[in-house]
Structure 1
């Protein structure tokens, strides 16, 4: 087998940028926090409205595409490599990660303390809109953001059979392989790949930044020791060992099995909470939240709060859409790798419907269990959130369950496995980006994936070391996702152009028949 070549320039440049960020945050923590707050406010103010419009347009576009004849296009010939359950499990686990379990318990409380859409805090309406927004931010629009970036990559790789599993390779193919590779375009490709690598670090900094301290707090509550930076470091080493082993083994033996196992764990955990906890309240509140969300979907999607300027759209909806955008590169590349043999319609349905349903199930049960405890004064979740004690609130909530130690241990395992699968998919796609000319059926070298697994822990550790507040962590997503949005826009343009060139003259029956060959 021919030895794979690495893009040394991209590798060195990416590591230099990451090293500079880590050293800057460590040596100048206060300046880093102040700068992050300024960037967060500026970027969300300037780009907020276009981002809301773009994400809503993505939902509409994917809905039309899924029902059109182009939905029958098969992404690669032959049978799918993975079972439907494994395919759905890997997609959900790669797209969400363990940040999900933190927000599932606490997110409604942030909205309850500062309600959107003119609701007043400490009211019934504040509770209900908190649930609705919780489901909205992790539902259809989030998955549409993933899907709109995944389809151009999958089409490029499986249908057009172009070489390279990187964003720059997709953009180069859209530009036209027959055109000469000018020095200017080479520089553009370098910038695209650097943005991709930097975006992965930005998005994962949020995931690790909120997840690792949560897991540390949970583990320490069982052991009976205080949660310190040393404990955070130990947790990251354990997590790194899990996803490094998974990455080294490979997708089929590693991540597919871990994702399926973790999905079973998560379903069992949620069902146990549902049955042992306030079952009727959870069911009623989840259904009510879904009704409120769907009834106000367009308004919530495009609400900018122009009169009061409360900051809610910028601090939450716009932040979340940009957060999802930071995940789109490696989710898109990873979805491409695991979706060979699936149709465009199947990918859209899986991501928008299965992905959203999984989140509704998880957030509906866990979020409303948490909300019920606050309503009845069992745990003052909203008050603890307002004082920055979200992780402590989660521990207190878990302690209200019978056999609480078992629930806490299972919850910690779910968090670690969710995070491991997310980082595994990120390490895979980062390694693929720095391995030029990757062909269909080829994977990046195992040790190369292992290297990126280790590197991904650097920036989040720096965030934890300086005890960065939530807004500082959020800024990682804001800064990195803005330039990436323009790249995704170009990729979608190329995707539409390709479909028109390849299938505009073909009927739906012809497309289906070709996919069965």
Structure 2
């Protein structure tokens, strides 16, 4: 049974400062959208050019580091003395649904088309090779490297919280323990403010992509035009679901909604797989995995230095930064649900289960979209400049038998995905803004409800005042660059702690300790 923290534990200065900064930026973008967009784009181009290669090297290095840790003696360190709190099935489901979100459903139908028009590794646009590389790059960007960025944020927090038994389930508490800076001091506040801003910015991107698509789906079912009213109704429905879930907590709320979401997702993609084109899905996915594995190092470190094309910056570097915006949020949430797991279990789950989940999901939905484009049934690749491909997604679903049923199924799955992500985010934000959180303690229900309200109001305000979503996206991505330095400090702390605690302990002794812990 988890204890609830009382109101005195709220970090009021952190909450006030964070929300003030977010509000100022949103209002500024609403009043001066063109200037804000121009400035944000210039900053983004400058920083991605300056930090592009280091970001690629950092991500590749993280993958290598996690593989080493998982097969070393340190992989057998158990995160806490108790048995795992959740079954493996629920653990994987919560991790997947929190990490993906409903924006994944948008990308699952359209991402290949962006790569088909502007492929990577020097392939000719709009050719057979571009089709093949499109799915390979999709699997790459949603595969091992991406999940490694989530995992490298989770491991230091989990070790800090369960093995070292330090207080605080936030980035600042980990950084404070590593550097000696006080977590409630200036440095700690800056770290948490950056985290809260990037988290809210990332969630705004998710809602910004998801709500218009869901609105299009609902309008198609009802036979009406899309409008702000439909957007508002969709947000309210999702808000009721994830707010109730957040109030009930991890075990009664988040676990149930993610288990339900898993059933719906499996049903949705399972039916589409059976309807087909099944053979094309299997063949193209197998080919994509082969291309990705064969070229993994090249794709990981490709900067296009001779042609100086925009693909590495626009996609791979952008994606790694995008995943980093969510990495601290995922790190806190995964820590909360991973008590009792071994370090190597956590690594294998995130890298293998996370990647396989994405590849199966994308392998089915990308391929039905691509099939309709190849056969000239739906011009998916040609529709991206119109509305980002939203209508093309509905058109693809309309090619299925009982299309209204599939569109409704699609809307429900997307809503559950979104509710799961926002539910997890509200817990994470509340944990960050709770002072001295200990093991077996959760933020108070009303604190979680407060962040539920903030998570809804910020994107809703952005949509209402018509602030440019691309600028919000750019701002969130830009602020993720300082998070890389925070992650480097956390990685240093993890290595230092493991050497101090287990450096002189043999692998056999670590395994024996784990057996005794599990038995007790």
State the TM-score, normalizing by the size of structure 2: 0.96
Q: CA deviation at 1:234?
A: 2.1
Shift of the 459–352 alpha-carbon distance from structure 1 to 2, 3 Å rule, reads same
Q: CA deviation at 1:500?
A: 0.2
| Residue 203 (structure 1) aligned with residue 199 (structure 2) | no
Q: 1:87 maps to which residue? A: 91
Aligned residues: 512
* Greater shift in the superposed pair: 14-23 or 336-345: 14-23
Alpha carbons 2:5, 2:444 under 8 Å: kept: no
* Greater shift in the superposed pair: 389-398 or 129-138: 389-398
- Cα-Cα RMSD: 1.6
* Greater shift in the superposed pair: 381-390 or 332-341: 381-390
Q: Secondary structure at the match of 2:378?
A: coil
**Distance in 2 separating the partners of 1:358 and 1:311:** 29
Q: Secondary structure at the match of 2:341?
A: coil
Q: 1:262 maps to which residue? A: 261
Alpha carbons 1:205, 1:476 under 8 Å: kept: no
Q: Secondary structure at the match of 1:40?
A: helix
1:55 aligned to 43, 56, 59, which one? 59
Alpha carbons 1:209, 1:473 under 8 Å: kept: no
1:6 aligned to 5, 10, 13, which one? 10
Shift of the 165–389 alpha-carbon distance from structure 1 to 2, 3 Å rule, reads closer
Shift of the 305–465 alpha-carbon distance from structure 1 to 2, 3 Å rule, reads farther
Alpha carbons 1:165, 1:333 under 8 Å: kept: yes
Q: CA deviation at 1:442?
A: 0.7
Deviation digits for residues 489-510 of structure 1 (CA, Å, limit 9, x no counterpart): 1000000000000001111111
**Distance in 2 separating the partners of 1:10 and 1:482:** 21
Deviation digits for residues 432-480 of structure 1 (CA, Å, limit 9, x no counterpart): 1111101111110111111111111334234434656664343033222
| Residue 120 (structure 1) aligned with residue 133 (structure 2) | no
**Distance in 1 separating the partners of 2:465 and 2:372:** 32
Q: CA deviation at 1:313?
A: 0.7
Alpha carbons 1:26, 1:462 under 8 Å: kept: no
Q: 1:368 maps to which residue? A: 367
Q: 2:381 maps to which residue? A: 382
| Residue 323 (structure 1) aligned with residue 328 (structure 2) | no
**Distance in 1 separating the partners of 2:472 and 2:280:** 33
Alpha carbons 1:22, 1:458 under 8 Å: kept: no
Deviation digits for residues 333-355 of structure 1 (CA, Å, limit 9, x no counterpart): 01111000100000000000000
Shift of the 137–466 alpha-carbon distance from structure 1 to 2, 3 Å rule, reads farther
Q: Secondary structure at the match of 1:457?
A: helix
Q: Secondary structure at the match of 1:387?
A: helix
Shift of the 35–232 alpha-carbon distance from structure 1 to 2, 3 Å rule, reads farther
In structure 2, runs of 5+ residues without a counterpart are none
**Distance in 1 separating the partners of 2:108 and 2:468:** 19
Q: CA deviation at 1:21?
A: 1.9
Alpha carbons 1:432, 1:443 under 8 Å: kept: yes
Deviation digits for residues 81-124 of structure 1 (CA, Å, limit 9, x no counterpart): 00000000000011111111000000000000111111112210
1:155 aligned to 142, 155, 159, which one? 159
State the TM-score, normalizing by the size of structure 1: 0.96
Aligned ranges 1:143-222 → 2 under 5 Å: 143-176=147-180, 181=182, 186-222=185-221
Alpha carbons 1:146, 1:328 under 8 Å: kept: yes
Aligned ranges 1:400-415 → 2 under 5 Å: 400-415=399-414
| Residue 352 (structure 1) aligned with residue 351 (structure 2) | yes
Deviation digits for residues 120-178 of structure 1 (CA, Å, limit 9, x no counterpart): 122100000000001100000000000011000000000000011111111111134xx
Alpha carbons 1:75, 1:341 under 8 Å: kept: yes
Q: Secondary structure at the match of 1:231?
A: helix
**Distance in 1 separating the partners of 2:52 and 2:459:** 25
**Distance in 1 separating the partners of 2:73 and 2:155:** 15
Aligned ranges 1:35-114 → 2 under 5 Å: 35-114=39-118
Shift of the 445–330 alpha-carbon distance from structure 1 to 2, 3 Å rule, reads same
Alpha carbons 1:98, 1:416 under 8 Å: kept: yes
Deviation digits for residues 17-43 of structure 1 (CA, Å, limit 9, x no counterpart): 121122122222222222232222122
Alpha carbons 2:26, 2:467 under 8 Å: kept: no
2:37 aligned to 33, 39, 45, which one? 33
Q: 1:295 maps to which residue? A: 294
**Distance in 2 separating the partners of 1:399 and 1:79:** 47
Alpha carbons 2:101, 2:420 under 8 Å: kept: yes
**Distance in 1 separating the partners of 2:217 and 2:428:** 31
Shift of the 110–171 alpha-carbon distance from structure 1 to 2, 3 Å rule, reads same
Q: 1:274 maps to which residue? A: 273
Alpha carbons 1:113, 1:386 under 8 Å: kept: no
**Distance in 1 separating the partners of 2:288 and 2:69:** 28
**Distance in 2 separating the partners of 1:33 and 1:234:** 29
